[in-house]
Amino acid sequence: MNPTQINLVQESFAKVAPILEQAAVIFYDRLFEVAPTVKAMFPVDMKEQRKKLMATLAVVVNGLSNLESVLPAASALAKRHVSYGAKAEHYPVVGGVLLWTLEKGLGAAWTPDVAAAWTAAYATLSGYMISEAYGSAQAAE
């Protein structure tokens, strides 16, 4: 990611911040719609899970300027996800849902440049997490 992309991700996330709770609901509703089998990996009461998602996303977005600062936590999170039943093939689905959610939340502010920046950010982080959780061969697929 280049500095311009990092700024685009951070600025666009700041625009979503006022509706984080709603965005989390939209995200999980969409995730369970497009990948209903993953719902079993989550608690029945999603309130805390939604808070964790947005808190984690905020940490990552704020840490993009110094990616090395968030990588240890991303590695630990990736390894925990394995114990929940997450597989490498879930990452592209989650990424698609995240981008879809951001597009809905940002409306006209979701430009091709913002989309490309978020795509790069997610690809960077998810590739790292897949590698940490499953090994580098899985990350390349």
* CATH code of residue 45: 1.10.490.10
Q: What domain range is 30 assigned to?
A: 3-140
Q: How many CB atoms lie within 10 A of CB 35?
A: 16
Mean pLDDT of 17-45: 94
- With a cut of 50, say whether residue 140 has pLDDT above it: no
d(CA 40, CA 106): 29
Domains identified in the chain, total number: 1
d(CA 81, CA 50): 15
List the structure tokens of 121.
Answer: 């950010």
- With a cut of 90, say whether residue 26 has pLDDT above it: yes
Q: pLDDT band for position 1 (50/70/90)?
A: confident
pLDDT at 118: 97
pLDDT digits (tens, 9 = 90+) for 37-95: 999 999 999 999 999 999 999 999 999 999 899 999 899 999 999 988 899 999 999 99
| Contact predicate 16/107, CB 8 Å | no
DSSP assignment letter at 42: S
